Homo-oligomer: A and B are copies of this chain.
Amino acid sequence: MTLESFFDPDSVAVIGASRDGGKVGHSVLRNFVEEDFRGDIYPVNPEADQILGLEAYGSVLDIGGEVDLGVVTVPPSVANDVVEEAVEKGVDGLIVITSGYSEIGEDGEEREQELQRIVQGTDTRLIGPNCLGVYDSFSGVDTLFLPSYKLKRPPQGDIAIVTQSGAFGSAVMDLLAEMEVGISRFISYGNQADVSEQELMQWLDGDEKTAAITVYMEGASDGDAFMQTARQVTDETPVVALKGGKSGSGKSAVSSHTGSLAGSYEVYRGVFRQTRVLEATTIEELFDYSRALAYNPPLAGKNIGVVTNGGGFGVLTADSLEQRGLELAEFSTATREQLREVVPDYGNVENPLDIVGDADTGRYEQALDILRKDEAIDGLIVIPLLQPLPLDSDVIDTIVNMNEEFPKPLVVCMTGGEYTGLHAKNLEANDVAAYSSPHRAAAAMQALYQYGEWFGDATTQL
């Protein structure tokens, strides 16, 4: 089988489904019920007749129909037994959420080896153990056992997340939900007893719903395999990775956290470069870069045009671009002449272009229309500050429309509070990446430039 059953199964069994609202097995079952999972849902619990209005089964073996996906939430003492039954039943994919395996040391290692023996050579594939499992925004698969008030789910979108750390995964999912950044699939894969990070990346590479893959990893289980896979995947799909355990102290922390070997950071950096995996050094960069790459073609050159109604932000963006190795495009004479008609006399018509504080949407529209035709510009950073009265919400539509016709990268910088945030979400919903500060917008442009360097002016790439 491919890994399809983990993401789009026709039927799911929650093995360890519980009537107790505080239990993992209850939360997972409720997710499937409440998110209108389109297939059959089978609660498995030997001590219940019904859970959440659904008939419960004593064992997965008692289920009459086929089971594509099984989610295991029982205690570690019985987890391997129910996995064995699931293999016997012929379940395609198993997500073992249960912890108490290799991450707890010796006792757990034995249990994990047994688990591996149970699935080895069978038709059943297994994600976990010790993981949050899978969230698929399209099919309704959701094994994240945390209530939505604590962990909001992001909307549908085209960024996939693969994470070794469940805590990392749950925190960033909640963060992205708040930013309304769209996610295709999320996988917290835990101890990788069977399905590995590489296989997941490979599957996402072929996934038409996914335009960019973000990875949080502490240590690869198999360095060579990772390298080979990454090389293939990045040929088609951008991969952005954040590596935990770069420092000496971080490395020791890794070995006690996921039990992985963090390995030498220098080696990882080399592998990332060779396989064209874009390295993020912070959580912010991880998603800033992913959004830029998911929504834009690569930059064909380093000449950036900047337009703003707030001069100070033009200055800071110029500083940040230079710091990131990019340059301000020199506007053509034609561009300057046309801008002269649009910008008030006391404003200037140089890059960064300050269309000044009394600019309305109309002036933005005119300026953008001039800039998009200037061939000296490889990409645009648009900085619509919404605090001044003359600029209204329509500027968002103007930018979205312009972006649809503009074959080059365009990102937005908007700094502000709630009102600004609402408009940033609107851009995000239209696949325009909005950043909360000049240095983040400039860093996103650097990511797009790096991609252009690696893959050429390849609009086929993204």
Contacts and interface: CB of A to CB of B under 8 A. Distances in A.
A118 interface: no
A171 interface: yes
Greatest chain B CB density within 10 A among A318, A319, A345 is at A319
Contacts of A334: none
Given A104-B346, A166-B357, A246-B322, 15 more contacts: A146-B388, A147-B389, A150-B388, A165-B312, A167-B312, A167-B388, A171-B310, A171-B416, A178-B418, A244-B315, A246-B323, A249-B351, A253-B318, A253-B352, A284-B437
Closest 6 CB pairs of A and B: A167-B310, A165-B312, A178-B417, A104-B346, A247-B322, A168-B312
A388 B245 CA distance: 23
A21 to B, nearest CB: 10
A313 interface: yes
Contact of A387 (B170, B417, B438): B170
A386 B311 CA distance: 39
Given A250-B319, A318-B249, A318-B250, A283 B419 contact: no
Contact of A315 (B150, B250, B283, B345): B250
A16 to B, nearest CB: 16
A348 interface: yes
A7 interface: no
A290 interface: no
Contact of A171 (B174, B253, B385): B385
Contacts of A415: 171-172, 174-175, 283
Interface residues of A, number: 88
Interface stretch (A134-142, A254-262, A398-406): A254-262
Contact of A152 (B105, B108, B417): B417
Contacts of A312: 163-168, 216, 218, 244, 257
A206 interface: no
A249 B322 contact: yes
Contacts of A284: 437, 439
A421 interface: yes
Contacts of A250: 315-316, 318-319, 322
A281 to B, nearest CB: 8
Contacts of A322: 246-250
Contacts of A313: 167-168, 171
Contacts of A175: 415-417, 420, 436
Nearest to A322: B247
Contacts of A320: 282
Contacts of A172: 415
B256 A323 contact: no
Contacts of A151: 387, 416-417
A428 interface: no
A389 B144 CA distance: 12
A321 interface: yes
A309 interface: yes
B417 A177 contact: yes
A8 interface: no
A103 interface: yes
B247 A319 contact: yes
B165 A283 contact: no
A10 interface: no
A350 interface: yes
Contacts of A253: 311, 314-315, 318, 350, 352, 354
A27 to B, nearest CB: 8
B387 A311 contact: no
